[in-house]
Each structure stands twice: as C-alpha cells, then as structure tokens.
Structure 1
C-alpha cells in the first residue's frame, strides 16, 4: 500500500481509497473475464449445434421401404393392352375428342376440390416455414414511457407542492435455441415430407378429377345413344301399331294384335323418361366437377355425339412402376417419412436443451439520459439449459406413441400398394371382358335387326302372328340398348385402367396450379 501511495504521489490516498480502487479494478476485470467466458461458451455451442451438422441427430434416418413387386400383371394382356412404358400424363388425348379436351381444361381451372387441395399445399408450406424459423433467434423489443404526478396531500408535510416523476425505458431481448440434438432438423424434415405428401394429394385429386370428368362425359354420350335407340324403336313400334290397325280394319288381323302393339309401344315409351332423367343428372354432375352451376352444360352437350373411341394400343407398364406413378402410393410413403422424423423430435426431449439468452436495456428518469449509454445501460448475455429430469414417463411414452404411429403408417403404405395392384388388375380384366361382351352384343344386334325385318315380312304375308313380331321388336331394342350401354362401359373401364395406373398428372402440375 505504501509503495502505491508513494508511486502515485498523492498525499490524500489512504488505505480505504486504495482498497476501493482495487476492488473496482477487480470487478471490471472479472466482468471482462466473464464476458469472454460467455462468448467462448456461445461459440462452442454454435459450432456444435445441429443446424451446422456437427451435433448428433436423434431418431432413425428414414429409408424408403422396399416391397417385393411382381414382374408382370396377373391378368394376361390381350389386343389393346400391351406392356411397355406408359404415357399417362394426357391419356384422354387418345380419344381425340375436342369436347372432352375442353371439359378437362375447364375442370383443371374451376374444380373446387382441386382448389381446396392446393390450399392444403399452401398450408403445408407455411407450416414448413414455421418449423424452419426455429433455426433462427427470437428477437423482441420493449419500451416504456410513464409520467406520474403525485398530489401534495399524498406527500410528506414538508412538501408543499405536487411532484411529477418520469420514467423511460427502452430495450430488447433475444433467445436462440441451439439445436444440439437435431430436434429442429427433425421437425423440418417432417414438415418437408408433409409438404411433399400434400403435393401428392393434389396430384391424386387430379387423377380422380380427370377420370371422373371423362367417365361422366362418356356416360352422357352412352345415354344419348340409348335414348336414340329407344326413340328409333318407338318409331318402329308406332308403324307396327298402324299396320295392325290397318290389317284389323281390313279384317286381316284380330283386335288382339292391335292391343299387343299398343302394349308394346307403351312399354317402350315408359323407358324414355328414366333415361332422360339419368342424362340430366349426369350432365349436372359433370358441371359440378367443372366448378360450374349444374345447368350450364345442357346446351353445350345437348347436341348428340358418338361415344369416344380409340384405336391405339394401351400401354400399361409394369407393376413396379406404380410405386412412382400413383400419387396415393407416393403420398402414403411421404406420410411415413414425415412420421418417422417425429420419433427424433420426441427423443430430443430426453436430453437437455441449450439456449442463448440476452437482454439489453436503457432506463432513466430523464429522457435526455436515455441516450447516455454510460448512465442508463443494463445488459445480460449468456448460455442456459433446461433438462426435464422427471416427468412421470411422459417423454418415453411419447416416443412409444411416435413409434406406434410409424408402424401404422408403414402398414398403411403396404396396404395402399396392395390396393393399387388390385385396382389395376380389376380394371384391366373389366376392360378386357367388357370388350369381349361388346363384340358378342354387336353380333346379336345385327342378328336381331335381320330377324325383325324377316318376321315383319312374314307377318305382312300372313305367315306368322303378331306375337312373333312383338317379341322380335322387343328383343331388338333390348340388344341395341345393351350394346349402347356396353359400348360406353368399355370406354369407362378403359378410363378406370388409366385411373388405376395413376395417369393424369405431370411433375409441373403444382407449378401450373400456382400460376393460375
């Protein structure tokens, strides 16, 4: 102490002053050392955090399940269905029907279910952004400015005037979770997979939408053909009725023939309203699929046209291609990936979480002092951690929950693949067998028409009774109606083949929807 006083040359430096100076110096030294230590810890944690890929990432790394797929379809392929790389993106073009093409375009623009699915993509993107935001620090600013006036009645007796107090405070605080165990990374991984699943959901809606529009359109054309055959048969039976009346008036036929002709005509006419009702309902359904009012398509589709046909060979690909083509399979796989990542999120709760916290504040009773850094500042900065050392088994049971959900989604994925294989097999056999039926019905219609002509000739010559004419006319109508129905069903079954193969979407489908 004496050497310090002598060196400084101050007479009034006593031991108390020197002790005070020494304590202040040590405090400032300790403060700087503590700040450096905090900075060292912060840098260490940042280097180790999971967002830089150095820290451990808990939970299993996702691997796409490998499923055994058959080398070929069980249903033997026939003429019209061939193996090979299928071009499924715009499969409806094989029908070369301009009206159908326009309907597909309008459905792509206006279908409400498609818009709802795209909104789910937006939601998934926003959720992914929320999860990604966890990688960055949270910064908040605070401020407070108050003035308080105290009346003199509430002050000590020595104070005769009221007093006004002012207080100003501004500052900020921040926190940053260090993703040491990969919790945030796993959350982002799950959100990424969920976003992909929502994209596949949109593509699946496209597949179903295009198939439904095409199916309803074919149904409209098939019903119009059936109505055409009914009206043609009605016209034929009216002529038969007039013929029997003429023969009755001439005394060449009994009244029974007239009654049978009237009965036959009335039965055929009774079929027309139900077919027209089906036609109106189908056109209404088609309008709703386009996102339009039910009655908007009646004028456009009121003009009869033939059922769409195709002469092209249909390539159906191989079973293994379903895994990358059908959106529902792709969606199930992405949902499994999203759930697998949540196991790591749950496991991270078993370990301590590390964070950085910091605050900075300036406060003063005079506004001018707020900007005086030396007078009003206050700050704190440093790392912290929290560790739930006892939770009654909550975390471990949550891990079991996530594992069980992952098992469920794995089974669901496998079931989705099996259902897809079944859809394709059933669609192909339906298309093939209906084609065989259509060929037989075509021969039947030709034979029925010739038989009707022959029996009418015999009846005119008095060589057979009218009951045979009635039966042949009814049989001809039944065969023509079945033929028109089967002709439409063949194309509808072909549409089901395309639908079961997952046709109708392109990798750019979502980008096109975003540009609408």
Structure 2
C-alpha cells in the first residue's frame, strides 16, 4: 500500500493541517471583519406641514385641492379623454428616452455584478506546450563542442486566487453599485414623470390651438357677413366707403391669425410623434380632427409636503446617489489597509505527453500573501478627501432636489389657482361681449348707431373668446404641471 504522506505531488498530512489552519483563521477574520468608512443614513429633511399655494386654489370655484392621499398612478385618466390615455400608454412603451433609461438600468445591474465578483474565489485553467533548447556555451562547455538537447514541456493546471475582504472595501463597492442601480431605477421613473407631463402638455396645446382655429373661423364668418351687410348699405347710400374698408380690414385681420395657429397645432402633433418614438408626422391623420379641451377634475388631491419626499423619483434618485457617494468613501479608506490574498496552483507537468498524469508529474502550491501600501505619495489619503468632497456634493444635490420639488409644487398650485380666476373672469367677459355684438348689430341695422361700435363689439368678442380658449388650455397644462411636480405617473410602470 502506497504511503500517501510521501507520495510526490500531493500535500502531506502536516501540510493539510497547515492549510486547514490557515483557512480557519481566514474565515474567523472574515467573520469578525468590518467595513471601514461611514455607514449611510438617509437624510432627514424638514418640510412645511402644509402647502402655502393650496390656500389660493381653495378660494376658487373651478377645481378644489385636498390633503387626501395622492392617487397619481394614472392622473391623465382624470380628464376623461380616451385619446390622451392612448397617447400616454403608447409613449411609455416606445419613447426613446425611456428606452435609454432602461438600458442604463441594465448597465448598472451589470456593474453591480462586476463589483461583487471579487468577493468570490477566482479560478483559471491553463495549458502549455513549449519546445526549447538551451545554450551549451552559457553552461560552460570546457572547450568541448557540444549541442544542448532540445526539450519539450507539457503542462496543464488550475490557478486559484481569493482576495479576502477583511476591511470591507469590496463590500463597500457592492454597496455603492447597488445604490447606483437604485438611482438608475429612479432615473427611469423620473423620465416617465417628465414624459407623461410632456405628452399631456403637447396634447392640450394641440386641442387648444384647434379650438382657437375654430373660434377664429367662426368669427371670420360672422365678420364676412357683417362686411356684406355694410357693402349693401354702402351701395344703397346709407353708409360711407370708410365703413366698408373697416369691415374688410377686420375680416383680413382675423383671417391672418389662422395660419399661425395652424402652424402651432402642427408643431404640437410633431412633438407628440417624437415623444411616442415615431416620425414627427406619424400622428397627423389620427389627431387632425379637432376635439374640445376637457374640463379639469372637480378635486385634485395634493397630499402633504412630507409625502413628496417619498414619491418624487428625482428626490429618491438624489438620495441613492448620496448613498453611493458615502459607500465610495469606505472603498477609499479600505485602500489604506493591508490586502490579504490566498493563492493556489495545482497541475501536471512533464517533458513527454504520455507522462502527464503520473504521480511524478503532479505539482501544487498554496499559501497566503499580504500587501500593504507603505508609501504612495499621498495618493490614498487624497482619494479619501476626493470621495468625501463628492459625498458632500451629493448631499447638497439632495438638499437642492428637495427644495426644488417644494418650489415646483408651490408654483404649480399658485399658477393653477390664478389661472382659474383668470378663466372665470374671461367667461363673464365672453358672455357680456356676445350680448354687446347682438345689440350693436341690431342698432346698426336700424340706423341707430355707427359702424365703429359694431366693429369694436366684434373685435372684443373675438379677442375674449380667443383668450378664454387660451386660458382653458393653460388651465389644463398648469394642472399637468401640478401632477408632474407631485411626481405622479411612474407607479403605472414601476
């Protein structure tokens, strides 16, 4: 029976005990090891208990707000417009910015895998064939002419290495990469929030421009009829040529507004096409037919300012970026400490291929190693200072994101409230101007007033109707801006 202790190429019993002792010690070190550097704690930001701008909204009569829990999963459905719903659904699936954000998530997920790989032992296989001939003169031939023999070398083996994460540098790298992945996820959600807001804004702009075109065409027809009446009265000798010129000038002025509005409507269609990941004119046929602007919902739940910190993706992204920057300080600090490595090799080596696998062809090695940067010219501590400065920037970026979010909501609330007041006043003005036009025409036909009063009444009616349509459009886009500021919409596609 062969003596295993003395068998060539195999670890002896004492060697095995030594290896076991080393491995046990390493496992104890890993168990007791800690991750150097600061531990991340989510920042606590003080926010107001209520929205200041909400008081302005609740003094109007068009649409109220409340502190009910915000349900913004599909805020666009509150307008009861199936075309808008369809556009948003298509945009979330095909928009190029969303697809880029999804690619960044895949990139961050792969980067996390790369960061975590050093936590595991690395194993490499190798194979070698080499033919060589040494120099006989270099070996000292003693004046006798000799030729060194040609040698063959066949070798196969496995090389293993494992860097032990005693001080947590690799774990901090994984922590940072995980936070980067979370930031990428929140970035995609923020892209969705922006996308849905842009789809809503461009859609309401389109419907508003189409409605302005319809109003201009309606007033144009009324003004043309007035011009015909004036021309007949001129031919009958009741009015002067000046009245005819004024009537025709009014017609031309109104007619001149239509091409500009048509260009704006077409531009909104082009914008929607690109937002849906299609060529600009792809939606022209589907959106050509005018539809009325939808009214705002009777109530808009805005919640509390504290809800905003948990809901807005850009705030959560900034928090994740702060987490990653904090973890990278630990990565830099770990570079100050020694690195422990385990390396091992096992294989077969012979000068004749047929001898591979024999006991004498086996070789192996195993042992720990340690490296410690004694002097690096201040690079390591400078890197710690660098990462600390980056962490401070990330914290300030988080603070700015919170303040900017609060500002956007407050501004959107006030803009929405004041536009409601504007809309209400314009509605009353339109009603009064319609009565004024009817009365002026009756008096003019009866010869009881001059034509200037008719022109002024028609001009005022057109201007106020156009302004009311613009206000209705602005009311809708301001509400979209409020939903966007509240961070709504991403929950549908988490």
* Residue ranges of structure 2 left out of the alignment (5+ in a row): 135-140
What is the number of equivalent residue pairs in this alignment? Answer: 475
* 2:152 equivalent in structure 1: 166
The equivalent residue for 1:178 is: 164
**Is the counterpart of residue 74 in structure 1 residue 52 in structure 2?**
yes
Contact conserved, 1:42 with 1:383, CA < 8 A, in 2? no
Q: Distance in 2 between matches of 1:210 and 1:395?
A: 46
Change (3 A) 1:371 1:29: closer
Distance 1:234 1:28, change over 3 A: closer
SS at match of 2:68: coil
Q: Partners of 2:200 and 2:21 in 1: how far apart?
A: 67
Q: Which residue of 2 aligns with 1:57?
A: 35
Picking from 10, 13, 23, the partner of 1:42 is: 23
The answer to whether the 8 Å contact 2:341/2:370 transfers is yes
- Give the corresponding residue for 1:137: 121
Is 1:256–2:242 an aligned residue pair?
yes
CA distance change for structure 1 residues 349 and 279 in 2, over 3 Å: closer, same or farther? Answer: same
In our comparison, the structure showing a higher alpha carbon Rg is 1
Q: Distance in 2 between matches of 1:348 and 1:428?
A: 49
2:350 aligns to what? 364
Distance 2:487 2:454 in 1: 50
Match of 1:12 in 2: none
In the other structure, the counterpart of 1:304 is 290
SS for the counterpart of 1:141 is strand
Displacement after TM superposition at 1:459 (Å): 0.9
1:368-379 to structure 2, matched below 5 A, reads 368-372=354-358, 374-379=359-364
Q: From the superposition, tell whether residues 158 and 94 of structure 1 become closer, same or farther in structure 2 (CA, over 3 Å).
A: closer
What's the CA shift for 1:147? Answer: 4.8
Residue 383 of structure 1 pairs with residue 368 of structure 2: yes
Q: Runs of 4 or more off by more than 6 Å in structure 1? A: 27-31, 155-159
Equivalences for 1:312-323 in 2 at 5 Å? 312-323=298-309
Equivalent residue in structure 2 for 1:478, among 444, 457, 463: 463
Once the two structures are overlaid, the 10-residue window that deviates more, 424-433 or 135-144, is 135-144
Query: Who is 2:69 aligned against?
Result: 85
CA distance 1:394–1:146, change in 2 (3 Å): closer
User: Structure 1 residue 157: deviation in Å?
Assistant: 6.9
1:171 is paired with a residue whose SS is strand
Contact 2:9/2:364, CA 8 A, preserved across alignment: no
The question of whether the paired residues in 2 share the 8 Å contact of 1:336 and 1:406 is answered with yes
What is the RMSD of the two structures over their aligned residues, measured on CA atoms? 2.2
Secondary structure, in 3 states, of the residue corresponding to 2:490?
coil
Unaligned ranges ≥5, structure 1: 1-23, 511-516
In 2, Cα distance between the equivalents of 1:110 and 1:28? 62
Contact 1:173 1:360 in 2 (8 A): yes
Report the alpha carbon displacement of residue 30 of structure 1 after superposing the two structures with TM: 11
What secondary structure is seen at the aligned counterpart in 2 of 1:385?
strand
Partners in 2 of 1:296 and 1:110 — Cα distance? 14
Name 2:104's counterpart in structure 1. Answer: 120
Counterparts of 1:345-424 in structure 2, within 5 Å, are: 345-372=331-358, 374-424=359-409
Give the CA deviation at 1:297.
1.0
Q: CA deviation at 1:42?
A: 2.5
